[in-house]
Chains A and B, each alone.
Chain A
C-alpha cells in the first residue's frame, strides 16, 4: 500500500461550470437577446412599451405549450396532444370565464384543471396501457379536438372584458382596471408600472411550478428516465409516478396556454390547424431552448426561451415587409433548422449500431 498524496485540483467556478454544462440553454438565451435587440434597433419606431407588450402577448400561449412539451421531452417522450389540449381548454374558458368575479375565478380554475386532467389521462394511458407516448398522444389529441368542437361548434364566446384588458396590458392598466394602488398612480408603483402583465404571468407560473418540481425526487426521476430508463429502474426510482406527473404537468401548462389564449382573444375556437401548428412549434421551441430530443437534458425555462426565439423571428416579418406568401416557407425552414439541431449529438456516436437503439 502506498500513500498517495491527495491534491485537490482547482475547481471550476459555479458559473463557469453551469455555462459549460448548459451550453444549449445559454446559447438560446444569447440568441434571443441578439434577435430581440436587433429587432428593436431596426424597428421603424425603435423600442416602445406598446410593441413590447404586444410581442409578449403573442408569445405567452406558445411559451406555455413549449413548457408543456418540455415536460415530456425531458423524459425522452413526446406529447403530440399539447396543441389540442390548449384548443380544448380555450374553448372551455370561452364558455366559463365570465359573469361574477367568483364565476370568473372558478372558470379559470376549471379550464386549467381540465388541461391537467387531460394530461393525467395521457399519462395513465401511456403508463398503464404501455403505449408509446407519441402514438397515445396522437390519438388523445384527436379526442381533445373533438371535445373542443362539441363545446364550441362555432368560434365565439364572451370572455370577461375587464380580465381581457387587465391580462394583456401593462401593470398600470391592471391596477386601473381593478382599482389597485390608487388606480395605478401610486408613486412607488411607477418604476414597474410599464411592465407587461403577460410576461409576469408567464414567468411567475413557470418559476412557481418548475423550480420546486425540479428539486423533488419525482422531478429528478424525470431526468433519470430521459437519461437512462434502465438505470433509473435499477436504482429503484418511482418511474410510473414521474411519468404521470410529467404528463399531468404538461396538461397543466397546455391548460394555462388555452386559458390565456381565450382571455387574450376574448373568445374560443376549435381551430384544428392552429392546434397542429402549436404542437409542431412547441417541438421546435424545446429544441431551440437546449432540450435534447433524446431526453435527460434541458429545462422548462429553456423551452420558454425557445418559444420566445421562434416568436421573435416571426416579428421580423412585419418590419422587413417580407412577402406574406413567403412567410410560411421561411417559418418552415426555421423549424427544420431548429429540429436539425437535435441531430448534432449523433455525430459523436462512435459505434454506429447505437444510432439504431
Chain B
C-alpha cells in the first residue's frame, strides 16, 4: 500500500449541486475518495449516483461547487479532461464502437502512431498487453466488437479504461453484464489495481459483491450524500434503511381488501435474448400488479414483449384461456387481445409531438371513429371530448399541437389514447416519471377506477412509494427474473429494497427508525 498517497484524498467534491431542467439531481454534495481503495456508492434509483460519477468523469458540469483532484481545483469540460487528471470511467452504457476491432477500440482516443499514421502492429500489441492484464487472453484483438458476447465487450471496456492509466477508476455497474467467471476475474483485477495504488469507485446493485470487495461505502439518497463508513461498520439492514427515506408523502386511493383472483393474463417462462430469463407472472381482472426492482432488470423488456415489440420471444402468454403472444403492437391492441401499453418515453414512443392533441388521442383507435375508409368528424369530436373530460386534460383547443401541453397533461393524452381502445389489459411503463404531484395523484385514482371496472393492470414504476400505495401485488425483478412477490401488507419499502438488491434473507425490521440525514 502506498501510505502517503492513501492518507490524503485523491479527489474531493465540495458543495456540488446539479439540476436537470429544474429537477434536482445532486444537492450540496461533499464527497471524497482516495487512492489504493475500493469505494462503493450505494443508492436507490434516482439517488444521484450517476450524476455524481458523470461530474467526476467530465461528462456533465456541476452547477455549483468545486472538484479538487490531488490538491488542484479542476473544471472538466469533457471526458478527456478528466482522463488527463487521472479519472477514467467505465460507463454502464457501453462506449465501444461495434464495427471496429477490439484493438481499435482499446486505443480509440490516442492510438500509437508511426510517421503520423496509426501503427496497427503496435496497437495490437498494446491491446494484447492490456487484455492479458485483465486475464482475457482469449479475446482476439483483431475481432470486431459486434462479434463478442456482452460479457467480453464489458471486459474490453475495462481494458480500454486501463489503457488510460487511471489513478481513479470509476466502474458504473461494470459487472452487471458479466458472466460469473468474468465477475471473479474483475474482482481479482480490482484487488491487484488496489495493491498498485489505484483508487476505484464502484457502483453496483449487488450487495454481496459490494461486501466482498469494497473497503469503504457511501450511501446517496435523493441527490444527497447521506453517510460514508468503512465496510463492516453497518449491517445490511442498516444500509437498506439509509437508502430509503422520502421527502414527499403521496396520497393514494384506498385499496380493496386483498382477495385471490383468477389469473386473466398469465405469463409462463418468458425469455428474450439475455434480458428476460424465464419470467412467470399472472395478473387477474381488476388487479393492479406492480413490477419492482432496480432499473434495467428486464421490467421494460417484459412490457415490450407482451406488447409484441420484441422479436424472438419464447414462452407462453395466455389471456383468459387463449394463448397469445402478439406479433406487433397492432396485433396486441386489436382483435380479442385488447392490450395497451403506455410507453416509457412519451416524447418519442408515446406522442407525435407536432400533431394535434385530438390526432394523438385518436391515434390508436381510428377504427372506432371511422365510417368505411373515412374518419367520421362528428364521432371523433365526440370521442376526443369524452377523453378530455375523463382525464381532465387542461387544453385550449384540441387542434393545438400536443407539444404545447405541460408534461403532466401530455402524459394524460398518452394514457387517454390507450383508454380509448377500451383495453382489457393495461401495461404501464413508469407512467408518472417527470410529472407533477397533482397529476400523479389523479393517475393513481384513475388506475384504481379502471381496476374496479375489471381492467388487469401491470404497472412498472421506479418509485417504491407508488408500488406500495397503488398495487394489490408487487413482483420484484432481478436479472431478468421475478425473484419475489409481495401482496397486501407485506409490500413495504424494506422488503422491496431488499428484494431489489437480491438479498435473499428478508429484512426483519417491524418498525422504522429515524434515519440520520
Chain A residues near B (Cβ < 8 Å): 1-2, 4, 6-9, 11-12, 14, 17, 21, 212, 215-217, 220, 223-224, 226-228, 231-232, 234-237, 292, 296-297, 349-353
Contacts and interface: CB of A to CB of B under 8 A. Distances in A.
Interface residues of B, number: 45
B489 interface: no
A8 B96 CA distance: 24
Nearest to B184: A2
Given A4-B185, A6-B137, A352-B309, A224 B116 contact: no
Interface stretch (B35-43, B103-111, B504-512): B103-111
B94 A217 contact: no
Nearest to A238: B109
A220 B311 CA distance: 33
26 contacts: A4-B135, A6-B137, A8-B137, A8-B138, A17-B143, A215-B117, A215-B120, A220-B104, A223-B99, A224-B108, A227-B99, A228-B96, A228-B97, A231-B95, A231-B97, A234-B91, A234-B95, A236-B80, A236-B109, A296-B99, A349-B311, A350-B310, A351-B311, A352-B309, A352-B310, A352-B328
B98 A353 contact: no
Given A350-B273, A353-B304, A224 B59 contact: no
Contacts of B349: 353
B99 A226 contact: yes
A217 B118 contact: yes
Nearest to A216: B117
Given A220-B111, A228-B97, A353-B304, 17 more contacts: A1-B187, A2-B184, A7-B138, A215-B118, A216-B116, A220-B118, A227-B98, A227-B100, A231-B95, A231-B97, A234-B91, A236-B78, A236-B83, A296-B98, A296-B100, A351-B310, A352-B309
Nearest to A352: B309
B27 to A, nearest CB: 26
B188 A11 contact: no
Nearest to A7: B138
Contacts of A353: 304, 309, 349
B162 to A, nearest CB: 15
Given A296-B99, A353-B309, A1 B188 contact: yes
B207 interface: no
Contact of B97 (A212, A217, A232): A232
A353 to B, nearest CB: 6
The B interface is mostly helix, strand or loop, or mixed, namely loop
A354 B116 CA distance: 38
A266 to B, nearest CB: 39
A78 B109 CA distance: 25
Given A350-B272, A350-B312, A228 B98 contact: yes
A166 to B, nearest CB: 33
Given A227-B100, A350-B311, A11 B109 contact: no
Contacts of A228: 96-98
A1 B273 CA distance: 31
A297 B145 CA distance: 12
Contacts of B184: 2
A193 B99 CA distance: 41
Contacts of B111: 217, 220
Contacts of A223: 97, 99-100, 104
B185 to A, nearest CB: 7
Contacts of B96: 228, 231
Contacts of B59: 234
A200 B273 CA distance: 50
A349 B311 CA distance: 8
Contacts of A226: 99
A7 to B, nearest CB: 8
B94 A212 contact: no
A1 B186 CA distance: 11
Interface string B366-389: 000000000000000000000000
A8 B272 CA distance: 31
B261 interface: no
Interface in B282-311: 304, 309-311
Given A223-B97, A224-B97, A227-B100, A212 B188 contact: no
A355 to B, nearest CB: 10
A237 B95 CA distance: 12
Nearest to B108: A235
A9 B309 contact: no
Given A8-B138, A11-B140, A236-B79, A231 B117 contact: no
Contacts of A351: 304, 309-311
Q: Lowest 4 CB-CB distances: which A-B pairs, in order?
A: A296-B99, A236-B80, A227-B97, A227-B99
Pick from B104, B181, B187 the residue with the most CB of A within 10 Å. Answer: B104
Nearest to B119: A215
B109 A237 contact: yes
A272 B487 CA distance: 72
B144 interface: yes
A318 to B, nearest CB: 39
Contact of A352 (B187, B191, B272, B311): B311
